[in-house]
Structure 1
Amino acid sequence: MSLTIILLLFGALLFGMPVAYVLGVTSVFMILQTGGSSLFPLIPMRFFNSINLFPLMAMPLFILAGEIMNRAGITSRIIDFSTRLVGHWRGGLAHANILASILFAGLTGSAVADSAALGSMLIPGMAKKGYDKNFAAAVTAASSCIGPVIPPSIVMVIYGAFMQVSIAGLFAAGILPGLIMGATLMFFSHRISVKRQYPKEERRATLSEIGIDFKKAFLSLMMPVIILVGILGGVFTPTEAAAVAVLYALIIGFFVYRNISLKDMYDMLCIMTKSSAIAFIILSTAGIFIWLLTTEQVPQQVAQLVLSITTNKYLVLLIINIILLFVGCFMDSIPALIILGPVFTPLATQIGVHPLHFGTIMCLNLTIGLATPPLGACLFTCCAVGGVKLEGISKEILPFIAALVLAVFVVTYIPAISLTIPRLLGLI
């Protein structure tokens, strides 16, 4: 039965069927195989209960907050501040690109949003300064993967809601791994920039110059601080934090920067509605699918299969990482998370991996797929905004994929990286 489910699921995906339909068709097939039509009356209840979760309200609110901050013109301020800090290094704009992604991650929680906002400015700007355009696009796509790891993270909200893991704990667990991703990308970027003699700023910025750009970006950079301090300090829940983020973004856009109109608000609400609707349809059908997987004890069967190969904790994690990285190449992070989360999370718990640690591992692995050929969403976004071809960016991004994979294995085998901050904050 499990093999049939897997073949049907991935066969339908390979033929291009939308993920929500794939999960729905697979669920219907499973119902017919197990209890027949007598179970069909349960489908509407499961369909609704899958999204009737208070934490999931944070998702559309975080999407809206990110859209507002994007329209408020914060991108240029963050890029200018990042360039002031690291522009004097060899390949300064590449480093500024990565640092800007780290800072931008605290605003949107979305890799595709980061690559679109930063890529539209940095890819042409780097090309004018003498950088290879494919290299510029590759740096942008790879660094955008930091977005769903550093809080607030839409992927972590979904994982926490479905796997019943503390979202605040996941947010805290993602901070250091996100910084490590940025550090490994900067290391590889520096090596490439030295080899190719990419330009750098003629001099190091003075403290006063850094202070001026920090002042310009200060209000933008305060949003993730407010979110994190509020959540981790117990002032409000992640869902309430998302509402606060929207309010803060509206104040910044309408009354401080004054570059958002009511017409822009309508457009942003449409984007939020469309993005949320797509996600919620997937989540609804996924709820039915997860319920049936649990009923058929598929997670236990997968655990037995993997543990029959090896019971070594580190080898099991290696197998899981390889599977997640492979799946991430062909499937978007949210559907992959919904399908594989219920399968691998019980296995990870069984071998003694903390749920916060494993949630971070899953998010890291699957977000790398957003920048991995052949179907990485960030690759196509950077191709569109940067005017480059997929073949060119795919070649240039390979060293950065290696950097991100290195970061994944560092985080996987050093649990303290994910668990230290949650432990210090009393979330464990």
Structure 2
Amino acid sequence: MLALLGLAIAVLLVLRVPVAFAFLGPSLAYMAVNGRSPGSALREVANAADSFPLLAVPLFIFVGALANHAGIADRLFRFAMAALAGVRGNLGYVAVGVSVGFSWMSGSAVADAAATGKVSITAMLRNGYSRRFATGVVASSSLIAPVMPPSIPAVIYAGLAAVSTGALFAASVVPALLMALGLCIVVFFLVRRQPNLTRGRLDRRELLDSLKQVVFPLFAPVVILGGILGGIFTPTEAAAVGVVYMLLLGLGQRSLSWAGLLAAVKETALTTASIMLIVASASLLGYILARERLPQMLTEALFSFTDSPTVFLIVCVLLCLVLGTVIDATAILVLVVPILMPIALQFGVDPIALGVTLIISLMIGLLTPPVGTVLFVIAAVSKTRIGEVFRGCLPFLIPSVVIVILTIAFPDAVLAIPRALGL
């Protein structure tokens, strides 16, 4: 029965049926065949969405949407340009820096790519950068957003694994910064033999003016993360405070119009509906897999193969990389976390370290066809073919792979900040 269920889902995914419905249809058929009432299926779906920690997801999405429509990405770009004027390949570093700044308010790779892609890629093409380089660095930089807190995948994982969201946020900071450093190193090697990729000179007045424009927006992550890590807010409360702060900032500075506010509300509603539908359908499928004893079978198979936590983590990463090419990252998290968590505990793997490793691995899937959501966003904003964007991303994927390897090899380093903060 399990094989038939998997085959039905695979066929639907190949036929490009949306992931939520590809999971939901065969799952409902399974429930009917096994004599389970529609009410029990509906109860599983409703229970998956009825979660206080998941309430932070639409709120963090709203924070990112407000930041986007308030033009904060443009302000960050202007400041980064002023700070790095005269540096060879400066626009490559600017793209990474803007993504880091915007990631503190977004938590979503798609939102980051959409907000920063058009202005960064247009500027690079206008100043002599190749289209492949421009699209590759912007697309790859957007992966920092779902790793750097406040991270939407981290909120979802924490809810599924019943771990501290604050601890997961704290553990994700260093890997996210290392990803940014790795991207800058790749930019350095790609532009070092192109002396023409230099623009302008340092203008202290422009630097000061642009700095004034980003001071208050960059205070938002201090409010959100400081409140969570300091124990002042729960993640959900911090997300709500972040929404209020961004509203006051956007409306107070008149950078957010009423039309922009309505657009942000609409964008948040659509994105949240999409995510929660995936969460609900994947939860029903996860219930079925648990009923069929798949976690127990996987545990027995893995322990017959190895008793090494490192090998287990490598298997988890490979699983995420393969699934990430065809399934949305949110669906994979909802599907695999309830299965992998009890196995991880038996192997002695810390749930926080596992979460960081899984999230970074899944984000790589955003840049791999055929699903690769970020590839489609960057291709659309830059009017570039998907294949060209993907080829541009290849050298920039190296840092993400290296960070995944480091999280597997040195889990204690990942856990250093949460332990220091007592989380």
With the length of structure 1 as denominator, give the TM-score of the two structures: 0.93
State the Cα distance separating 1:196 from its structure 2 match.
Answer: 4.2
Identify the range of structure 1 (230-239 vs 370-379) with the bigger mean alpha-carbon deviation. 370-379
Indicate which of 54, 78, 95 corresponds to 2:52.
Answer: 54
Distance 1:281 1:131, change over 3 A: same
1:413 aligns with 2:400: no
Unpaired stretches in structure 1, ≥5 consecutive residues: none
Amino acid corresponding to residue 125 of structure 1 in structure 2: A
Corresponding residue of 1:246: 243
* Post-superposition offset of 1:252: 0.8
State, as a whole percentage, how many aligned pairs show the same letter: 34
Q: Alpha-carbon deviation of 1:375?
A: 2.5
Number of the residue aligned with 1:217: 214
Please give the alpha-carbon distance, in whole angstroms, between the structure 2 residues aligned to 1:197 and 1:309: 53
* Structure 1 position 303, deviation (Å): 2.4
Secondary structure at the aligned position of 2:371 is classed as coil
Letter of the 1:333 counterpart:
A
Aligned partners of 2:147, 2:271: CA distance in 1, in Å?
19
The answer to whether the 8 A contact 1:87-1:95 is kept is: no
Contact 1:112 1:377 (C-alpha < 8 Å) held by counterparts: yes
Does structure 1 retain, via aligned residues, the 8 Å contact 2:44–2:283?
A: yes
Deviations 1:284-337 (A, max 9, x none): 222222222222221121222233332222222222212211221222211121
1:246-286 per-residue CA deviation (whole Å, 9 max, x = no partner) reads: 10111111112x03232322222121111111111222222
Q: Give the equivalent residue in structure 2 for 1:8.
A: 8
TM-score of the superposed pair, with normalisation by structure 2: 0.94
Residues in 1 aligned to 2:141 and 2:372: alpha-carbon distance in whole angstroms? 13
In the TM superposition, 1:292-303 aligns within 5 A as 292-303=288-299
Q: Which amino acid aligns with 1:99?
A: G
Q: Does 1:262 align with 2:231?
A: no
Count of residues in correspondence between the two structures: 423
* 1: CA distance, partners of 2:85 / 2:401: 26
For 2:120, the aligned partner's letter is L
Aligned to 1:334: 330
Alpha carbons 1:91, 1:200 under 8 Å: kept = yes
| Cα deviations by residue, 1:116-150 (Å, 9 ceiling, x for unpaired) | 11111010101111100221011000010011010
Contact kept, 8 Å, 2:28 with 2:41, in 1: the verdict is no
State the secondary structure of the residue aligned to 2:35: helix
State the 1:209 CA deviation. Answer: 5.6
Aligned match of 1:403: 399
State the distance in 1 between where 2:22 and 2:226 align: 39
2:118 alignment partner in structure 1: 120
Cross-structure match for 2:347:
351
Gaps of 5+ in 2: none
User: Which residue number corresponds to residue 168 of structure 2?
Assistant: 170
Aligned equivalent of 1:236: 233
Q: Is contact 1:124–1:133 with CA below 8 Å preserved after alignment?
A: no
CA distance 1:38–1:137, change in 2 (3 Å): closer
Which among 211, 227, 235 is matched to residue 224 of structure 2?
227
Residue 90 of structure 1 contacts residue 194 of structure 1 at CA under 8 Å; is this kept in 2?
Answer: yes
User: Does the residue aligned with 1:31 lie in a helix, a strand or coil?
Assistant: helix
Question: How much is the aligned-residue C-alpha RMSD, in angstroms?
Answer: 1.9
Match of 2:309 in 1: 313
Offset, 1:372: 2.0
Contact persistence 2:72–2:214 (CA under 8 A)? yes
More divergent stretch after superposition (320-329 vs 52-61): 320-329
Distance change >3 Å, CA 175–CA 205, structure 1 → 2: farther
1:368 corresponds in structure 2 to 364
The one-letter code of the counterpart of 2:8 is L
